[in-house]
Amino acid sequence: MNEELIMKLGQDALRTSAMLAGPILVATLVVGLLVSVFQALTQINEASLTFIPKMIVAALILVLAGHWMLDVMSTYTIHLFENLATMVRE
């Protein structure tokens, strides 16, 4: 294994992780921002008011995009295992 291969594997792992976590993180960020604006406008200071909508949106994203996320993760893992022998020999 040379440094170039290790860097490529690391970049692929980070890219796959970002692709999988991105939709959930962006959705919860948007919902958190909207709830924070709502709290600032109404001066309601309840901690569960921010937590519950974020959990609902995260679960909804997992239900809607879970199939795609599983496909991306399994494709990456299959590609990694298929090329493992070639990678080790280099």
Q: Higher confidence at residue 59 or residue 90? A: 59
DSSP 8-class letter at 47: T
User: What's the pLDDT score for residue 89?
Assistant: 80
Q: Determine contact, residues 28/60, Cβ cutoff 8 Å.
A: no
Q: Tell me: the pLDDT tens digits for 29-79? A: 999 999 999 998 998 888 788 899 999 999 999 999 999 999 999 999 999
Q: What is the mean pLDDT of residues 1-25?
A: 92
Residue 48 to residues 26, 44, 58, 59, Cα–Cα distance (Å)? 20, 11, 15, 16
Concatenate the DSSP letters of all residues of 21-69 into one string. Answer: HHHHHHHHHHHHHHHHHHHHHHT---THHHHHHHHHHHHHHHHHHHHHH
pTM equals 0.79
